[in-house]
Each structure stands twice: as C-alpha cells, then as structure tokens.
C-alpha cells in the first residue's frame, strides 16, 4: 500500500513579528518587494479608521502608491467586484489588513489577479493568516478552497494584543482543533490510502499541545505579550503546515466538518470559527478515544465556549450538525466515516461531554 503522492508546497517567504512594527510597514513591504509601485489594501472600516494614518505615512515615505478597498462582506460575489475594479490598475501587491474576512478576501483577489499577497492580521482568531486557503460566502461548498500562500506576513503584537480577547480565545480553539485533525489524517492514511505528511502533521499537532500547556496562563483577560506571541506563532505555523502538506489535512478534520455543518444549519449564527471547532474538537476527541476532558478543560480555562448555549445553538441543531457533518465534504475521510451515530447516541455523547449544560 502506497501513501505517497506528488504535491506542491506553498510557504511564506518572510514572516515578521514584533511590537509597533505597523508604523514601518512601508519599509517592510519595500524590503521584500523592491519594485513595488502600487498596492491595494483590503480592510474593514473600523480597522482603517484606527491605523490608516500610521500606514499611509509609512507607505508614502517609501513612494508606494496605495488605494483602500473596504471589505463590506466576505463573499465570492464581493471578491469578483473588487477583481473587476482592480484588474486594469496595475496593482502589484494586495494587502489583507484586519481579521479573517479581509485576509481571505485579499488572498483570493491576489490569486485571481496573479499578484503577490501580504497578510497583516490585526487579530489572532484563526490560522488563515498564513495558510493558502480561504473561506468565503457564496460558494456551493461551505468549506475552504485553495488560493495562494501569503508572500509575506506582518504581525504587530501591539495591534493584535489590543483586539477583543474573544478573538484570541477563538484562535486557541482553532489551534487545539489540530488534536483531532491530525488523527483524522492518520485514519485517512490507514483506511483510505491517502498521502500523510509526518512533518506537517507533527508541526500542526505541536500547536494543539501548546494551547493545552499555556491555557493555565490565560484567564479570560488580556494575556502577557509572550503568550500572545506564542499563539500568533502557533497560528502561523499551523498555516505553514497546510502549505507543507499541500492541503488543509493537518489543520482541518471532523471538527471542522462539524463547524461547517453548524454554519449551514444556523445560517452562520453560531459563534466564531474557532469557537465552533473548539467544541467540535471536544466531541471528536471523544469519538477518537483520546483525552477529551483535557481539551474541554483547556478551553474552559481560556474562557472559550465549551457548551452549545455559549454559541447560541440548541440540542437539535447540534445533533443535526453531527448527522450532516460527514456529508459536507464526502471525499474527506475522518472518524465520522468509521463511526455511525443515530440521534439518540449523539444526544447521549453531548450530555456526557457537558455540551448541553
């Protein structure tokens, strides 16, 4: 039985992490792209109002022309509108500045325009800041698709630390999800003859263990700068693991399918991405026979949701999501392909895990 196949690795060329470095973004962009003349910045209105003067001054000092694109929605329709707007503007770099919505939009737009993409996250809510995958509304498939890995990532820890704590806790949920994502990938290797990358799997899994370890240092309030840096580096490494694997396999398994199913059932009214996959990881850890209490307790210490009520989901929606999950992406082999559950069994599992409390 062969587990090997050919795939392409996509990795960022440069990752810059530091304090108060956004004020130097013009220098940082120019250093890696000496011929850059004009960029488009995809951002939300709130982020722009907070950092525009800082960024504009730095870009102007380096003779980089720029234009702002306000991301009013994260959809393929909106991305197509921006692509048509920019296609004749001789843009050499797209910058995604903000949270997941702006970064995913920027990543897709850059890929479609065949230009470089730079990721500048203002929060650490999920691993999309460094991965080659995007998740936007309007696609017939409610899960991520491949675009391009960011050429460069600029992480200002002061900006990220001042984002709402809930976003950082969500990032922890996305990292701890690698616990079950990697185990699902191992199942796909053993039972579905899929390629399995040992290094990518270990790199992703390391991020999940790191969250368990540092959860004792987080108490639902602003963590130390060192903890924030560790979480940011973990999210970046997770995205890099996907780039090494050539797929989202090391980062996304049954817990993500459950999250996508919840999105579909509730029309996206069910908490943040990392909050959903965190709860999904508790459930799938139980199915995998690993220490689900460790996962739940770590999320609880971080003050991330561990119950359905905390993400505005009721018992029936939770059960519906479990039944639907493996149909979301039939080609992705996970623990859900190995275990058949009826509605009563789902409810019993949720009760045991305390998710219905």
Residue with tokens 């979480």: 231
The percent helix, strand, coil of the chain (3-state, each to 5) is 55, 10, 35
Residue-level pLDDT at 77: 86
Distances (CA, A) of 36 to 135, 243, 244: 28, 25, 27
Q: Are 185 and 146 in contact (CB under 8 A)?
A: no
Residue 152 structure tokens: 């460069």
Residue-level pLDDT at 55: 93
Q: Which residues of the chain have pLDDT under 50?
A: 1-3
Residue-level pLDDT at 3: 47
The whole-model pTM stands at: 0.92
The domains of the chain, with CATH numbers, are 14-161 (3.40.50.1970), 166-353 (1.20.1090.10)
| Angle in degrees, CA 68, 35, 50, rounded to 5 | 25
Residue 303 structure tokens: 């003050």
Residue-level pLDDT at 132: 85
Q: How far apart are CA 173 and CA 284, in angstroms?
A: 13
- The 10s digit of each residue's pLDDT in 292-326 is 999 999 999 999 999 999 999 999 999 999 999 99
Q: Are 331 and 265 in contact (CB under 8 A)?
A: no
Q: DSSP alpha helices (H): ranges in 163-314?
A: 165-176, 178-192, 198-214, 225-245, 254-266, 273-288, 292-302
């Amino acid at each position: 039985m062969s587990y090997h196949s050919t795939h392409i690795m996509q990795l960022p060329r440069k990752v810059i992490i530091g304090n108060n470095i956004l004020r130097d973004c013009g220098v940082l962009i120019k250093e890696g792209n000496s011929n850059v003349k004009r960029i488009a910045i995809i951002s939300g209105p709130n982020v722009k109002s907070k950092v525009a003067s800082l960024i504009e001054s730095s870009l102007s000092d380096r003779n980089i022309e720029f234009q702002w694109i306000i991301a009013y929605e994260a959809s393929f329709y909106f991305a197509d509108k921006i692509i048509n707007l920019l296609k004749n503007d001789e843009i050499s770099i797209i910058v995604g500045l903000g949270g997941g919505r702006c970064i995913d939009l920027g990543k897709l737009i850059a890929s479609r325009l065949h230009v470089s993409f730079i990721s500048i996250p203002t929060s650490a809510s999920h691993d999309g800041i460094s991965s080659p995958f995007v998740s936007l509304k309007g696609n017939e498939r409610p899960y991520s698709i491949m675009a391009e890995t960011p050429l460069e990532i600029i992480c200002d820890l002061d900006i990220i630390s001042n984002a709402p704590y809930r976003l950082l806790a969500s990032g922890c949920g996305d990292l701890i999800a690698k616990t079950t994502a990697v185990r699902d990938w191992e199942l796909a290797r053993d039972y579905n003859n899929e390629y399995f990358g040992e290094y990518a799997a270990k790199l992703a899994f390391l991020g999940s263990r790191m969250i368990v370890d540092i959860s004792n240092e987080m108490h639902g309030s602003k963590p130390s700068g060192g903890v924030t840096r560790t979480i940011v580096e973990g999210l970046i490494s997770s995205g890099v693991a996907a780039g090494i694997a050539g797929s989202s396999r090391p980062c996304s398994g049954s817990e993500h399918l459950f999250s996508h199913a919840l999105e579909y059932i509730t029309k996206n009214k069910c908490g943040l991405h990392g909050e959903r996959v965190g709860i999904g990881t508790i459930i799938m850890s139980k199915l995998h026979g690993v220490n689900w209490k460790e996962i739940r307790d770590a999320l609880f210490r971080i003050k991330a949701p561990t119950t359905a009520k905390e993400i505005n989901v009721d018992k029936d929606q939770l059960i519906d999501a479990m039944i639907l999950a493996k149909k979301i992406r039939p080609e992705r082999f996970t623990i859900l392909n190995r275990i058949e559950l009826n509605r009563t069994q789902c409810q019993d599992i949720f009760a045991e895990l305390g998710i219905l409390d």
